[in-house]
Amino acid sequence: MSMKTISPQDAAKLIKDGAILVDVRETDERAREFIPDAAHHPLSKLEAAGPARSDAKAVIFHCRSGMRTQSNAAALGNASQCEAYILEGGIEAWKKAGLPVKTDAKAPIEIMRQVQITAGGLVLLGAALGVAVHPGFYALSAFVGAGLMFAGLSGTCMMAQILSVMPWNRRANLA
Assess contact for 10 and 92: CB atoms under 8 A.
no
122 shares its domain with 95? no
DSSP-derived secondary structure letter, 108: P
Give the pLDDT score at 75: 83
91 shares its domain with 15? yes
**Whether the model pTM is above 0.85:** no
8 shares its domain with 94? yes
DSSP-derived secondary structure letter, 23: E
145 shares its domain with 86? no
HSE-CB at 169 with a 13 A cutoff on CA atoms is 18
Active site residues: 63
Q: Which helix (H) or strand (E) holds 84?
A: strand 83-87
86 shares its domain with 115? no
Domain boundary pick from 58, 74, 103: 103
pLDDT (tens place) for every residue of the chain, 175 residues total: 558 999 999 999 999 999 999 999 988 888 889 999 999 998 888 764 555 555 678 999 999 998 988 888 888 887 777 888 999 999 999 999 999 999 888 888 888 899 999 999 999 999 999 999 999 999 999 999 999 999 999 989 999 999 989 998 876 554 4
Task: Give me the sign of the Cα torsion angle 26, 32, 34, 37.
Answer: positive
Cα(129)–Cα(123) distance, integer angstroms: 10
- Which residue range is the domain that position 154 belongs to? 111-174
13 shares its domain with 95? yes
Residue 50 one-letter amino acid: G
Domain boundary pick from 85, 103, 121: 103
Of 92, 80, 95, the residue nearest 41 (C-alpha)? 80
Domain count, the chain: 2
Residue 134 one-letter amino acid: H
CATH of the domain at 71: 3.40.250.10
